[in-house]
Every structure is written in C-alpha cells, then in structure tokens.
C-alpha cells in the first residue's frame, strides 16, 4: 500500500500530538490510573521510640491552617513510615548500622503505627472534630503505609504458617511483604475509620532497583487488594527511570540537594527535568536545619526551582521534613520560620484548591 507525502506528514504530526498530550498528562499525574490522586504527600516518620508521638496536636499543623479569618487544607496525603529506632538499635531498612528487624519487630512497628490516639488514629480524630464543625475536605485525606524491607540474605526473620523464611529466596521475601500487607489491612479494617482512606503502600528501600525480582510480585498482590504501590528513589537510584516497569504506581524523584554541601543548586534543575522526562513526581526536602541561614536559603531554592520547572503546576509532590521540622516551624515565634511556613502554606493551599476543583469537575462529567 502506498501513501502520498502529505498523508504521511499529517499522520506523523497527529501521532506526535497524541504522544505529547499523553506525556503532559503523565507528568501532571505520574503513573496514576484514575483521578483519585494525592496532590501533596507528607512523610511522617512514625513508630520508633525517638520520634514524636504524632498525636492530634502534633498532626494538626499538617492537616490545616487557620486563623480568625480563614481556614485552609494543607497536605492531603500522609505517608507513615519508619526506617530505624535509635534507642532500640533496630532498622526496618538496611544501611544504618543497626540490627535487622525480625517478624516480631515488624509486628511491634505495626502496633506503633496504629497506636491508640496516634498516627492514623490522630489524623482520623482531627478530621472527625473538624467534620462536627462543618469542615469536610472535598476529597478524603489519604494514608500510605510503609512496608519494612525484607533484607536480602537475612535468615532470622521468623516463620509464616510454620515455615521459617529465608530472605536468600525471593519467594520468602515476597511472602513476608504480603504478610505485612495483610496485617495492615486487617488492622485498618478493624479500626473503622470514616474520614481517612488507605490508598496504598510504600516500598521503603530506596535502592528498589535491586529488588526487581520481588516488587512485581508484591504489586500483583496489591492489585488484588485494590492498593497502590509508592516509591521515592534517591538521586540516580538504579532503575529509577523504569519505576513503572518495576511495578510502582507512583514514584517521586529525590533531588538530595538539601543535605549535601558539595553540590550546587543545579542539582534541583537536573532532578526536576529528570522527573518530568520520566513522568515522576518530585520530593521537596528540608529538616531542622531550616533554622540556619544556609538551610533557609536551600528551602527557598527548592521552592524557586520547583516554580521555574512548573512542578507546583503540573506534578505530584512528596515532602520530606526530617521527622517533625514542619511541626516545629509551625510552633515557632521566629519571624523567619513563620515566613517559611506561610510561603509553603500558600503553595499548598493553591494546589489543594486546584485538586479540589479537578475532583469536582471529574464528578460532574460522570
């Protein structure tokens, strides 16, 4: 079959337009297959004995911001995760120099995640109190729970149904991860939360590219449970550009700029461009060092580079805040700290309003 040059040219242009449209959609809502997305996902390091309790008062500054004249929602997603316990010398993610957590310690962490009046319990309680005042978000606040890492080579984790697991075997690593998923789902269902939804699970091991024999099988199991799988790889992590092929529903790129004095702010631009190319969300990073001049400067650099690269307008964002920095900033009377809170709050409020409007629009078209 022969085609004239005009027809071929028109066909090529049409295909390119379709591809470009799809890329824009994916960069705006990376890897998500429906409109029920988390616009702003805050990382809450929760469980270990050196962390905040994450009671109602500690979580409030993450949920909303109000004064005498206004009330506004802030983060719409809450990732509860843990990597190590300094006091108990244990780790649920390898590389920190502590003892690898066994099944018993996975169970202990689960109990800490869902402690009475803490974490998801506290989030539910705050939202319930607000609902009684007539304040309900357009979209439910969503929760993501971290799966501890089934560390390759570990042989003392424990048993499932009488079988001792050996993490030299991929099938045993998969079994442990799926067992934890079941335990979380069972606990969640028993809680009977009305104001929060469990959206999925987080693969805590940032070097997940090395877990390529495990993750797709865990993902298959999560699909059966109608759960998503999240990942936040470090800069240049193996296979981070192939996160979707690994099986993740949502991936955010870490710039790793805030913590390294040896690299320039060009890293932020590079990370934003890499994330857009590979349809990833972005992670904004800061910690208690925002109290220092160099930390404040980097904080504003993240905000500026995200603005210049249209991250705030087009991409999903995760927020690493060092396990309580946002709480301390919100409680501070220091004018500089309060200014930093206001600047990011204004961005969050605008993004939440946009996400709410999109949700209303999608409902109107159904």
* Phi, psi angle pair for 199, to nearest 5°: -95, -30
- Whether pLDDT at 10 is above 50: no
Average pLDDT, the chain: 90
The arrangement of secondary structure in 38-355, i.e. its CATH architecture, is Alpha-Beta Barrel (3.20)
Query: What local confidence, expressed as pLDDT, does residue 208 receive?
Result: 84
Taking the C-alpha atoms of 302, 256, 44 and 273 in order, what is their torsion angle to the nearest 10 degrees? 60
249 touches 32 (CB < 8 A): yes
Query: What local confidence, expressed as pLDDT, does residue 361 receive?
Result: 81
Token duo for residue 3: 């085609």
Separation of CA 319 from chain center: 7
pLDDT tens, 44-92?
Answer: 999 999 999 999 999 999 999 999 899 999 999 999 999 999 999 999 9
- Whether pLDDT at 1 is above 90: no
pLDDT tens, 249-278?
Answer: 999 999 999 999 999 999 999 999 999 999
pLDDT tens, 19-55?
Answer: 343 333 333 334 333 447 899 999 999 999 999 999 9
- Whether pLDDT at 174 is above 70: yes
pLDDT band at 212 (very low <50, low <70, confident <90, very high): confident
Q: Where are the domains of the chain?
A: 38-355
pLDDT tens, 280-333?
Answer: 999 999 999 999 999 999 999 999 999 999 999 999 999 999 999 999 999 999
Selection from 343, 340, 276, 338 nearest residue 311 by Cα: 276
Query: What local confidence, expressed as pLDDT, does residue 23 receive?
Result: 30
pLDDT band at 362 (very low <50, low <70, confident <90, very high): low
- Whether pLDDT at 366 is above 80: no
């Amino acid at each position: 079959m022969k085609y004239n040059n005009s027809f071929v040219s028109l066909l090529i242009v049409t295909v390119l337009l379709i591809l470009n449209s799809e890329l824009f959609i994916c960069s705006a809502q990376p890897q998500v297959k429906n409109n029920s997305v988390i616009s702003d996902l805050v990382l809450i390091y929760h469980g270990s004995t050196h962390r905040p309790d994450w009671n109602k008062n500690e979580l409030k500054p993450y949920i909303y911001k109000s004064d005498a004249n206004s009330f506004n929602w802030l983060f719409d997603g809450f990732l509860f995760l843990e990597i190590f316990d300094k006091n108990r010398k244990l780790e649920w993610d390898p590389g920190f120099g502590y003892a690898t957590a066994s099944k018993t310690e996975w169970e202990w962490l689960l109990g800490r995640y869902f402690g009475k009046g803490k974490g998801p319990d506290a989030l539910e309680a705050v939202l319930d109190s607000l609902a009684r005042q007539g304040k309900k978000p357009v979209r439910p606040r969503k929760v993501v729970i971290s799966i501890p890492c089934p560390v390759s080579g570990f042989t003392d984790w424990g048993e499932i149904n009488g079988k001792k697991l050996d993490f030299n075997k991929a099938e045993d690593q998969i079994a442990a991860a799926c067992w934890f998923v079941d335990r979380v789902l069972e606990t969640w269902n028993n809680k009977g939360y009305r104001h929060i939804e469990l959206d999925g699970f987080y693969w805590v091991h940032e070097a997940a590219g090395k877990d390529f024999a495990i993750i797709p099988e865990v993902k298959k199991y999560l699909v059966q449970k109608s759960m998503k799988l999240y990942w936040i790889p470090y800069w240049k992590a193996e296979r981070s550009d192939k996160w979707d092929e690994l099986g993740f529903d949502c991936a955010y790129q870490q710039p790793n700029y805030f913590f390294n004095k040896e690299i320039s702010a060009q890293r932020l631009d590079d990370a934003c461009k890499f994330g857009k190319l590979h349809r990833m969300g972005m992670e904004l990073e800061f910690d208690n060092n925002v109290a220092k001049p160099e930390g404040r400067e980097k904080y504003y650099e993240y905000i500026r580079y995200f603005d210049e690269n249209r991250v705030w307008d087009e991409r999903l964002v995760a927020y690493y805040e060092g396990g309580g920095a946002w709480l301390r900033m919100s409680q501070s009377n220091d004018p500089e700290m309060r200014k930093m809170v206001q600047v990011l709050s204004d961005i969050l409020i605008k993004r939440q309003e946009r996400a709410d409007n999109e949700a209303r629009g999608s409902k109107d078209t159904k």
